[in-house]
Amino acid sequence: MSRFIFLLVATIFGLSNCVFAQAGQAVCVGANYYGIFDIPDVVFTQVSSTSSHAVGLREDGSIECWGRNEYGQCDAPNGMFTLVATGYAHSIGLQKDGSITCWGLNVYGQCDAPDGVFTQVAAGNNHSLGLRGNGTIACWGSNYYGQCNTPGGVFTQVEGGYYHSIGLRENGTVACWGRNDEGQCNAPSGVFTQVAAGYYHSIGLREDGTVECWGTNDYGQCNAPSGVFTQVAAGGYHSLGLREDGTVVCWSNNTALGDVPDGVFTQLVGGSVYAIGLRENGRVECWGGNDFGQCIAPDGVFTQVAAGNYHSIGVREDGTVECWGNNDYGQCNAPSGVFTQVAAGRYHSLGLRADGTMTCWGYSENGQCDAPNGVFTQVAGGNYHTIGLREDGTVECWGSNWAGQCDGPDGVFTQIACGENYSMGIREDGTVVCWGINNLGQCDAPNGVFTQIAGSAFHSLGLREDGTIACWGSSTNGECNVPSGVFKQVEAGYGYSIGIRKDGTVECWGGFNRYGECNVPGGEFSQVAAGRNFSLFLEASCTEDINKNGIVDYSDLIAVISNWGPCDPDCPSDIVANGVVGYEDLLQVLAAWGPCSG
């Protein structure tokens, strides 16, 4: 069997499948009805198909369709898209601005997409689904079996079966609704990371990588093999899974089927599956997913950065704040004024002003931007809640409290941090306290003395006083397989972790690096921040400290003189980076003489 990078979509409504080969080439197997195998010779980033037509998303965001076109389901519109889905005879595209476009058969209203900003789309036989920016689900089209009676709550994924629908809740549990005559809506309990829907069966990927299926098993489509998988997909009467080694496994009796960047860093900030880095010279560097421009860092010198789901924030040298990336909820409409610290929640942003007062902007349906009066020394943001550390060391929380993430304990703290739906604090004695959701042990902090903490969705990190790292919670993706050695900062991303070693180099572990969030760039950094699928780095500001002893002194002066003349790329003594060690570098050292602030 060929090795695949990832398995995107198996057809929901037929016997053929389209997957991706290593170079972005679509490959189909099974029955070739209506020319479904007549794949255009182009590179795709995603493909979705039924038994009769297919839709492909090109590298440039445009759409190409092939196969049956009786109802216009292959008349792809112009525009820039980020995701596609296919129903029986209609197609759906998620535009770059988050709006939805549908085309093809519309007898049941399945192409009457609602307004608003969405993050995901899915299609059933004659119904369509969209996941809004706030995590709620919208459904339109046929509702004969109740497949459009969407439940309330916040979801992270939605999928459509023939006459039923599936959603993955924020806490990892599965909800199903619609037709259930074959048990396709009898979702098992437990925590899952992904779901898929076939004709009359459903599939879930558990947090340990094992697969569970429920519903009809007439063709063996629910006889899931053992082993660890990274993704699942469902056909009409068959199922597919992508193993850890990239191979694809299909189960059914249906005979018709046939890198971490180099360099020195001084700070890390973790989000979901992207990261931000702060270099020692104050420059920001970003890597990973960039759907909303969250990785296009502006020029200039920054002193701190933070990352939300799909947006980034930075504090400039003059204390002003700049934001970039997704701005659907105004989370990038930074206020004027001088700030000393910024933080980011899922869709909201926070800033600590020079006078210690707090300002919040962006999504605030749960009150996460209703900052209280008073003076604070630190602020942190979770999914839909916010925490502030007052100058007397007490903790105050506001916003969503469905999991107790705002039930802050009494006592004096020196530092705070947020996971998605939980909160963390370091007490005066260095011990760690966590409160909020604890479904995977992310709040079971170990004993000991810590100097820094970080939280994500399902795992937490702590930096012990000896510089070693402790991790607790989920380690499904290896995010708690911490490396040995001494570190000076840790950060938790979505399914991965980052640490800055004592010498300033960065190490990233866990996750699958699907968006390049662990492709740490070379160079010297002072901070890194992690968002949902990208990373930002802030370049180090004290490049004159050539020997990295914290002081610009005679040893650095000697290093410049000793390397006088033409210099190899990345030569530490070439401070101005012009390829030559000379008078300009000498003047830089003299101007920065004394303790190094980077």
Whether residue 410 is found in the same domain as residue 481: yes
Q: Is residue 324 part of a domain?
A: yes
Which residues, other chains included, contact 507 with Cβ-Cβ below 8 Å and sequence gap of 6+? Answer: 260, 483, 498, 499, 501
CATH number of the structural domain spanning residue 293: 2.130.10.30
Amino acid at 508: C
140 contacts 112 by C-beta, under 8 angstroms: yes
Q: Tell me, what's the pLDDT at 1? A: 24
Using the predicted structure, report yes or no on whether residue 205 has a pLDDT greater than 70. Answer: yes
**Which is higher by pLDDT, 102 or 307?**
102
Whether residue 379 is found in the same domain as residue 465: yes
Whether residue 310 is found in the same domain as residue 448: yes
535 contacts 27 by C-beta, under 8 angstroms: no
Q: Which of 5-19, 407-421, 564-578 has the lowest mean pLDDT?
A: 5-19
Whether residue 291 is found in the same domain as residue 241: no
Q: Is residue 88 part of a domain?
A: yes
Q: Is residue 316 part of a domain?
A: yes
Whether residue 78 is found in the same domain as residue 204: yes
546-581 per-position pLDDT tens digit? 776 668 888 888 889 988 998 875 578 887 767 789
Q: Is residue 374 part of a domain?
A: yes
Domains held by the chain: number: 3
Whether residue 338 is found in the same domain as residue 223: no
Q: How is residue 12 annotated by DSSP? A: S
Q: How is residue 264 annotated by DSSP? A: B
Rounded mean pLDDT of the chain? 82
Q: Is residue 72 part of a domain?
A: yes
Q: Tell me, what's the pLDDT at 338? A: 95
450 contacts 426 by C-beta, under 8 angstroms: yes
Amino acid at 574: D
Neighbours of 315 (CB within 10 A): 23
Q: Tell me, what's the pLDDT at 533? A: 62
Using the predicted structure, report yes or no on whether residue 297 has a pLDDT greater than 80. Answer: no
Using the predicted structure, report yes or no on whether residue 582 has a pLDDT greater than 70. Answer: yes
Q: Is residue 264 part of a domain?
A: no
Count of all residues that appear for the chain in the document: 598
Mean pLDDT value of segment 473-501 = 87
pLDDT band at residue 524 under the 50/70/90 scheme: low
Whether residue 247 is found in the same domain as residue 294: no
Whether residue 437 is found in the same domain as residue 575: no
Mean pLDDT value of segment 326-338 = 94
28 contacts 49 by C-beta, under 8 angstroms: yes
Domain of residue 73 covers: 9-257
pLDDT band at residue 597 under the 50/70/90 scheme: low
**Residues 512, 93: Cα–Cα separation, whole Å:** 26
Neighbours of 374 (CB within 10 A): 13
Whether residue 220 is found in the same domain as residue 301: no
Mean pLDDT value of segment 189-208 = 93
Using the predicted structure, report yes or no on whether residue 279 has a pLDDT greater than 60. Answer: no
**Residues 117, 232: Cα–Cα separation, whole Å:** 26
Q: Is residue 13 part of a domain?
A: yes
288 contacts 277 by C-beta, under 8 angstroms: no
Whether residue 64 is found in the same domain as residue 196: yes
**Which is higher by pLDDT, 589 or 545?**
589
36 contacts 55 by C-beta, under 8 angstroms: no
Using the predicted structure, report yes or no on whether residue 153 has a pLDDT greater than 80. Answer: yes
Domain edge (last residue) among 442, 472, 488: 488
pLDDT band at residue 192 under the 50/70/90 scheme: very high
User: 159 is written with which tokens?
Assistant: 């999928």
55-100 per-position pLDDT tens digit? 888 878 899 888 888 889 989 999 999 999 989 899 999 999 999 9
CATH number of the structural domain spanning residue 585: 1.10.1330
Whether residue 330 is found in the same domain as residue 253: no
Domain edge (last residue) among 257, 278, 295: 257
Q: Is residue 510 part of a domain?
A: no
What are residue 573's DSSP bridge partners? none
Using the predicted structure, report yes or no on whether residue 530 has a pLDDT greater than 50. Answer: yes
207 contacts 172 by C-beta, under 8 angstroms: yes
CA atoms within 13 A on the CB side of 475: 10
**Which is higher by pLDDT, 11 or 425?**
425
User: 170 is written with which tokens?
Assistant: 């924020």
Closest by Cα among 343, 316, 229, 287 to 537: 287
Q: Tell me, what's the pLDDT at 353? A: 95
Whether residue 206 is found in the same domain as residue 309: no
Structural element, H or E, at residue 557: helix 554-562
Using the predicted structure, report yes or no on whether residue 467 has a pLDDT greater than 50. Answer: yes
Residue 594 burial class via C-beta count within 10 angstroms: exposed 0-12, middle 13-18, buried 19 and up: exposed
381 contacts 367 by C-beta, under 8 angstroms: no
Domain edge (last residue) among 238, 257, 276: 257
Residue 533 burial class via C-beta count within 10 angstroms: exposed 0-12, middle 13-18, buried 19 and up: buried
Q: Which of 108-112, 281-285, 302-306 has the lowest mean pLDDT?
A: 281-285
Q: Tell me, what's the pLDDT at 43? A: 64
Using the predicted structure, report yes or no on whether residue 266 has a pLDDT greater than 90. Answer: no
pLDDT band at residue 261 under the 50/70/90 scheme: very low
